[in-house]
C-alpha cells in the first residue's frame, strides 16, 4: 500500500534520513520506534509531503507520490496527526474537526463522519463549541486524532501521540488507536514509548541516527536483545 | 449642541470611509502576515478605474464597483503570486514589506505617468447632495459609504466563520503546517486572501471616488490613517478595524474643530503612538502570535 524506497531527506544542508526503506500493507498497524532525534518525525513529514526527499521514491497504492505537496497527499488518503497536536487554537473544537474533513473525498461525508467520530470520542461532544486552546492536553490529543479521522484516510499516521501526556491518558490514546485500526484503517505510528507501541502494532521498524537498523514482527522485536537493552531497559 | 452633533456625525461618516479602506488592510495582515504598504495605491488605482469607467461609459460610479472590485481582486492576487510568494521562502518578512513599499512607489509613479499630476473628478451623480437627519446634515454618498462598510464587515465575518473556504483561511492563519495537513493549499489561500483584501478596497474606491478628487498620491493619506485604525482595532481583527476607524474618524473631526484643523493629524498620530506604547494589541486584538497551541 505504502512503500518508501531508499529515501534520503533532511532540512537545508542537514541530512536526517539516509537510505530509508519501509512498506505498509493494507489493514496493518506498523510502528517506527527510535530515540529522540532519530529522524522519526522527519520520516512522517517526508511521507506526507511536508519535506521533500532528496533521493529515493515513495509510492502509495502503486502511484508515485514522491514529489506531491502535503495538501495533495491528503487528497490521496494519507493523513498525518502531527506531533504536539497542532490544533487551530482560536477555532472551536467543531471547526477544528470540520477542517479535518476539508479534503475532497471527505467533504461530502463530513456530517456522517463527525457523527461517527463523536461516537468514538463522546467527551468531545460536550466540548464542541469551546475553543481548542481551552482544552486539557489529553483532550487536545483526542481532538487531533478525531480531526485526523475526519479526513477518512486510507492510512493514518500518528507522530508521538503519547508525548507530554499523563500515563493514564497514554493508555486511553493507545486504546483509541486500537479502535481506529479495528475499523480497517491502516495505521503507521512513530513513538518513543516503545513498549506500548510494540504491544499495539503488528510489525515494527527501529530507526537509529537516520537509518533503519531493525525490522521484524512486533512480538519478535519485543523479544529482541538490542531492543530490550536500548529501549526497554530490561 | 447642534454643532457638536454635526461634528460627531461628520466624524462617524469619516470613520466609515476609513473603515472601508482599513478592512482589506487588516484582512491581508491577519492572514498573509504581510503589511501591504501598497494598499493606498490599490485604492488610487481603483479610484482611477472608477473615474475612467464612469466618465467613459457615463454610468453611476457605484455601478463600476461590479468591475473595479474584481479588477482589484486580480491585482491583489497577482501581487501575492508574483511579488510576495517568491519572497516567502526568504525567511525574512522585512523583505516582503519592502517589496510592497516598492510596489506602492511604482504604482504611484505609473499613475503620474499615465494620468499626470492633475486631479481627476469623478462625476458625483447626486451623491454629493445633502440629506437632513434631524438637525444634522450629511452627504448621501457618506451614508452609502458608511452602510457599505457595515455590510462589508458583517459579510466578511460571516464568510470567515460560516463557509468552508473562510474556515480554511482562518486555519491557515492560525497554523499553516497543520492547515496543509488538512489538505489546504496554503499558497492558494494566501493568493485568495490578498485578492479579497484588495477587492475590499476596490469596492471602497468606487464609493470614495465621487466624494474625493483622484490624484496619484491620494492613497498615501488614506493608507496612513487606515494603519492607525488597524493598529487601534488590533492587527488582523476585522471588527476591530471598523470600530478603530470610527474612533479615529471621531477624533479627526472633533480635534479638527476644537483644537484646530491643522492639528488633526498630529492628534491622530499621537494617539497612534500612545496605542503602540500602552496597548500594542489594540482594542480587539487578542494576541500577536496565533501560531501555537500550548502543549
B122 found inside a domain: no
pTM, to two decimals? 0.91
Which residues in chain A have Cβ-Cβ distances shorter than 8 Å to B182?
71, 74, 99-100, 102-103, 147, 151
Q: Residue B285 falls within a domain, yes or no?
A: no
Give the strand order in the sheet containing A2-11: A14-24, A2-11, A55-60, A63-64
Task: State how many domains chain B has.
Answer: 1
Domain with residue B35: its CATH number is: 1.10.3470
Q: Is the pLDDT of residue B292 over 60?
A: no
The shortest CB-CB distance from B293 to any of A86, A95, A102 is to A86
- Closest-CA distance, A147 to chain B, in angstroms, reads 9
Residue A192 resides in a domain: yes
Per-residue pLDDT, A230: 86
What does the mean pLDDT of chain A come to?
A: 92
Yes or no, beta carbons of A74 and B185 under 8 Å apart = no
Domain span at A184: 2-86+156-232
CB-CB contact of B23 with B196 (8 Å): no
Kindly report the CATH number assigned to the domain that includes residue A38: 3.40.50.300
For the segment B229-276, what is each residue's pLDDT rounded down to a tens digit?
999 998 889 999 999 999 999 999 999 999 988 888 899 889 888 888
Q: B174: which chain A residues are within 8 Å (Cβ-Cβ)? A: 88-91
For residue A97, give the C-alpha cell.
474537526
Task: Among A75, A86, A140, select the one facing B183 at the smallest CB separation.
Answer: A75
Whether A168 maps to a domain, the answer reads yes
Those residues whose C-beta lies under 8 Å from the C-beta of residue B229, and which sit 6 or more positions away, are B18, B19, B22, B241, B244, B245, B247, B248
pLDDT digits (tens, 9 = 90+) for B68-92: 999 999 999 999 999 999 988 766 7
Could you give the CA distance from residue A197 to residue A208 in angstroms, rounded to a whole number? 17
Closest CA to A156 of A77, A84, A101: A77
What are the start-end ranges of the E strands in chain A? 2-11, 14-24, 29-33, 55-60, 63-64, 78-81, 155-159, 186-191, 203-208, 211-217
Cell of A202: 503488528
B111 has pLDDT over 90? yes
pLDDT for position B291: 36
**Selected residue of A73, A99, A104, A147 to mutate for chain B interface (largest B Cβ count, 10 A):** A99
Strands A155-159 and A14-24: unpaired
Summarize pLDDT for A62-108 with one digit per residue, the tens.
999 999 999 999 999 999 999 988 999 999 999 999 999 999 889 99
Residue A175 lies in a domain: yes
d(CA A80, CA A58): 15
> Helices H, strands E: what count in chain A?
11, 10
Give the closest residue to B231 by CA, choosing from B222, B220, B244.
Answer: B244
Separation between Cα atoms, residue B295 and residue A135, nearest integer Å: 10
Determine the pLDDT at residue A65.
Answer: 95
In chain B, residues with a C-beta closer than 8 Å to the C-beta of A85 are 293, 295
Contact A49, A64 (CB under 8 A): no
Rounded to whole angstroms, the Cα distance separating A43 from B149 reads 49
Residues from chain B that touch A84, judged by Cβ atoms under 8 A, are 293, 295
Indicate if the pLDDT at residue A161 is higher than 60: yes
CA distance B185 to B206: 32
Q: How many CB atoms lie within 10 A of CB B21?
A: 28
The arithmetic mean of pLDDT across residues B275-295, rounded, is 61
Q: What are phi and psi of B209, to 5 degrees?
A: -50, -45
Report whether B251 contacts B271 (CB < 8 A): yes
To 5 degrees, how large is the angle CA B144–CA B146–CA B149? 105
Q: Do A104 and B178 touch (CB under 8 A)?
A: no
pLDDT tens readout for residues A111-150: 999 999 999 899 999 999 999 999 998 899 999 999 999 9
Q: What number is the ipTM of this complex? A: 0.91
Domain range holding B70? 2-117+127-278
- Residues of A with a Cβ under 8 Å from any B Cβ are 48, 50, 69-71, 74-75, 79-80, 82, 84-91, 95, 98-100, 102-104, 107, 132-133, 137, 140, 147, 151, 164
CA atoms of A112 and A106, how far apart (whole Å): 10
> Does the residue B151 lie in any domain?
yes
Percent of chain A with pLDDT over 70: 100
Q: Is residue A144 part of a domain?
A: no
Whole-Å CA distances, B196 to A91, B19, B70: 21, 15, 9
**Considering only alpha carbons, which residue of chain B is nearest residue A44?**
B181
Number of folded domains that form chain A:
1
The pLDDT score that the predictor gives to residue B286 is 55
Report residue B170's pLDDT band, with 50, 70 and 90 as the boundaries. very high
Give A233's pLDDT tier (boundaries 50, 70, 90): confident
Amino acid at each position: 500500500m505504502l512503500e518508501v524506497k531508499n529515501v534520503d531527506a533532511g532540512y537545508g544542508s542537514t541530512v536526517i534520513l539516509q537510505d530509508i526503506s519501509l512498506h505498509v500493507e493494507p489493514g496493518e498497524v506498523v510502528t517506527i520506534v527510535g530515540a529522540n532525534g532519530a529522524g522519526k518525525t522527519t520520516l512522517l513529514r517526508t511521507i506526507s509531503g511536508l519535506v521533500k526527499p532528496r533521493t529515493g521514491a515513495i509510492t502509495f497504492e502503486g502511484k508515485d507520490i514522491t514529489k506531491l505537496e502535503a495538501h495533495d497527499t491528503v487528497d490521496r488518503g494519507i493523513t498525518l496527526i502531527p506531533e504536539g497536536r497542532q490544533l487551530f487554537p482560536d477555532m472551536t473544537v467543531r471547526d477544528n474537526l470540520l477542517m479535518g474533513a476539508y479534503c475532497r473525498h471527505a467533504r461530502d461525508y463530513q456530517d456522517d463522519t463527525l457523527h461517527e467520530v463523536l461516537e468514538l470520542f463522546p467527551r468531545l461532544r460536550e466540548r464542541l463549541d469551546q475553543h481548542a486552546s481551552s482544552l486539557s492536553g489529553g483532550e487536545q490529543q483526542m481532538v487531533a486524532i478525531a480531526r485526523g479521522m475526519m479526513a477518512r484516510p486510507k492510512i493514518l499516521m500518528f507522530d508521538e501521540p503519547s508525548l507530554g501526556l499523563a500515563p493514564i491518558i497514554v493508555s486511553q490514546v493507545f486504546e483509541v488507536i486500537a479502535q481506529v485500526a479495528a475499523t480497517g484503517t491502516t495505521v503507521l505510528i512513530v513513538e518513543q514509548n516503545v513498549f506500548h507501541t510494540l504491544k499495539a502494532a503488528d510489525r515494527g521498524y527501529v530507526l537509529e541516527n537516520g537509518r533503519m537498523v531493525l525490522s521484524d514482527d512486533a512480538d519478535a522485536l519485543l523479544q529482541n536483545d538490542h531492543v530490550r537493552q536500548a529501549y526497554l531497559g530490561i | 449642541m447642534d454643532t457638536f452633533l454635526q461634528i460627531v456625525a461628520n466624524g462617524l461618516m469619516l470613520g466609515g470611509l476609513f473603515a472601508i479602506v482599513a478592512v482589506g488592510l487588516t484582512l491581508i495582515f491577519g492572514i498573509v502576515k504581510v503589511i501591504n504598504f501598497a494598499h493606498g495605491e490599490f485604492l488610487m488605482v481603483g479610484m482611477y478605474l472608477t473615474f475612467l469607467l464612469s466618465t467613459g461609459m457615463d454610468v453611476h460610479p457605484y455601478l463600476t464597483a461590479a468591475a473595479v472590485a474584481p479588477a482589484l481582486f486580480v491585482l491583489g492576487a497577482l501581487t501575492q503570486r508574483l511579488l510576495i510568494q517568491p519572497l516567502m521562502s526568504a525567511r525574512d518578512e522585512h523583505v516582503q514589506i519592502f517589496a510592497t513599499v516598492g510596489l506602492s512607489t511604482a504604482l504611484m509613479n505609473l499613475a503620474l505617468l499615465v494620468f499626470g499630476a492633475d486631479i481627476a473628478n469623478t462625476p458625483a451623480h447626486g451623491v454629493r447632495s445633502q440629506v437632513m437627519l434631524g438637525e444634522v446634515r450629511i452627504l448621501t454618498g457618506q451614508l452609502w459609504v458608511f452602510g457599505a462598510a457595515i455590510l462589508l464587515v458583517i459579510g466578511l465575518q460571516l464568510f470567515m466563520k460560516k463557509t468552508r473556504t473562510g474556515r480554511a483561511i482562518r486555519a491557515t492563519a492560525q497554523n499553516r503546517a497543520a492547515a496543509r495537513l488538512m489538505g489546504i493549499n496554503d499558497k492558494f489561500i494566501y493568493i485568495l486572501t490578498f485578492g479579497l483584501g484588495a477587492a475590499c478596497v476596490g469596492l471602497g474606491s468606487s464609493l470614495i471616488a465621487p466624494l474625493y478628487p483622484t490624484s496619484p498620491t491620494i492613497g498615501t493619506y488614506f493608507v496612513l490613517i487606515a494603519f492607525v485604525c488597524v493598529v487601534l482595532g488590533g492587527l488582523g481583527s476585522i471588527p476591530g478595524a471598523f470600530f478603530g476607524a470610527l474612533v479615529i474618524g471621531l477624533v479627526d473631526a472633533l480635534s479638527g474643530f476644537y483644537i484646530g484643523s491643522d492639528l488633526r493629524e498630529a492628534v491622530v498620530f499621537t494617539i497612534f503612538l500612545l496605542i503602540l506604547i500602552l496597548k500594542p494589541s489594540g482594542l480587539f486584538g487578542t494576541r500577536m502570535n496565533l501560531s501555537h497551541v500550548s502543549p
